[in-house]
C-alpha cells in the first residue's frame, strides 16, 4: 500500500485537520516521502530513539506514535532531535503522529479504551479543548467501590509495575466516571460540573489534591503512558484490517 494512501485514510478517520489549530503536536505524517510502498507498520506510544531503533530492527516502513517529534516546529535539528530524526531518514522509516485526535476519538481513542476497560456505558464526549473534546465520560455498568476501581486500573493497565495513585475524596460508590488520559487534571472542574464521581487520568499536578478534596471527587492517577496505549493499539488493529503487517513496541515508562 502507498504511504500516501495510509496517511490519507488515517487523517480522515482521526479528523486530523480539525485539531490543527488547537494541538501543539504536528499531527499526521511528520517525517517521510510523499510516495513510498508500505508493507510493515510499527506502533508505539512515544516517538523516541528506543522505539525508532526497534521499529528499524523490525524492518518497519512506517512508525505510528501518539507522541511525536514536532511540537510547534524545530528551531534546529541538532542534539537529541537530530539523533531521533537521522535514523528515520537513513532507514527510510516514515513517522506518523496522532496526539489529541487520538485522545478523543469516540471509538479508537485513548479515553474510549479506558472507558471500555472499566465497562462504562452511555459514553459521551468529555474534556472540552477549544471546539473539540479529548476525553470521554460514562456510567459504570455496576457501581465501583473506590478500591475496586483502583485495583482494576492497576491490574489491567501497562503501568510498568507502578501503583495507581488514588485521591480518595469522593463518594463510597462510583457510578459516573470522567476520563482524560495523559495529563488531564485541568479538567477536574468540568468533571465536577458533569456530576462525575471520579476523574481518571494519567498524571497529576500539586493543586489537584486540594481541588479534589474540596470538590468531593475521586481522582485516579494511573500513569501518562499507561492510559495512552489504547489509541495506538486500536490503530494497529485498524491497519491490520487493511492488509498490512504490524508490530507493537511496548516501552512502559512507569510515569
C-alpha cell recorded at residue 103: 485522545
Known binding site for a divalent metal cation: residues?
Answer: 66-67, 103, 224, 228
Closest CA to 13 of 86, 84, 90, 107: 107
- Which positions make up the binding site? 66-67, 103, 224, 228
Contacts of 86 (CB under 8 A, 6+ apart): none
| β 174-179/132-144 pair status | antiparallel
Distance CA 69, CA 73 (A): 9
Closest CA to 222 of 173, 192, 185: 185
- The SS3 call for residue 109 is coil
**Cβ contacts of 69 within 8 Å, gap of 6 or more:** 30, 31, 47, 81, 84, 85, 95, 97
Query: Using CB atoms within 10 A of its CB, is residue 184 exposed (0-12), middle (13-18) or buried (19+)?
Result: buried
Residue with cell 501518539: 66
The set of residues, in sequence order, having a beta carbon less than 8 Å from that of 253 and lying 6+ positions away, is 46, 160, 223, 224, 225
Helix residue spans in the chain (DSSP H)? 3-14, 49-57, 79-90, 100-104, 110-117, 146-156, 188-193, 208-215, 230-240
Amino acid at each position: 500500500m502507498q504511504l500516501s494512501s495510509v496517511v490519507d485514510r488515517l487523517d480522515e478517520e482521526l479528523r486530523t485537520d480539525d485539531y490543527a489549530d488547537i494541538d501543539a503536536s504536528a499531527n499526521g505524517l511528520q517525517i517521510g516521502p510523499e510516495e513510498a510502498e508500505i508493507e510493515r507498520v510499527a506502533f508505539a506510544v512515544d516517538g523516541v530513539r528506543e522505539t525508532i531503533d526497534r521499529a528499524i530492527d523490525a524492518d518497519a516502513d512506517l512508525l505510528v506514535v501518539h507522541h511525536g517529534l514536532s511540537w510547534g516546529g524545530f528551531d534546529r535539528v541538532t542534539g537529541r532531535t537530530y539523533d531521533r530524526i537521522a535514523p528515520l531518514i537513513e532507514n527510510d522509516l516514515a513517522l506518523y503522529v496522532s496526539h489529541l485526535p487520538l485522545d478523543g476519538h469516540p471509538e479508537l481513542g485513548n479515553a474510549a479504551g479506558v472507558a471500555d476497560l472499566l465497562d462504562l456505558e452511555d459514553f459521551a464526549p468529555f474534556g472540552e479543548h477549544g471546539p473539540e473534546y479529548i476525553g470521554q465520560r460514562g456510567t459504570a455498568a455496576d457501581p465501583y467501590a473506590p478500591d475496586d476501581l483502583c485495583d482494576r486500573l492497576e491490574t489491567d493497565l501497562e503501568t510498568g509495575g507502578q501503583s495507581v495513585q488514588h485521591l480518595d475524596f469522593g463518594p463510597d460508590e462510583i457510578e459516573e466516571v470522567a476520563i482524560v488520559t495523559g495529563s488531564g487534571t485541568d479538567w477536574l472542574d468540568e468533571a465536577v460540573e458533569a456530576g462525575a464521581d471520579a476523574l481518571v487520568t494519567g498524571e497529576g499536578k500539586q493543586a489537584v489534591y486540594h481541588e479534589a478534596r474540596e470538590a468531593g471527587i475521586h481522582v485516579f492517577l494511573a500513569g501518562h503512558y499507561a492510559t495512552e496505549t489504547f489509541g495506538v493499539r486500536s490503530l494497529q488493529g485498524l491497519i491490520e484490517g487493511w492488509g498490512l503487517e504490524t508490530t507493537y513496541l511496548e516501552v512502559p515508562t512507569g510515569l
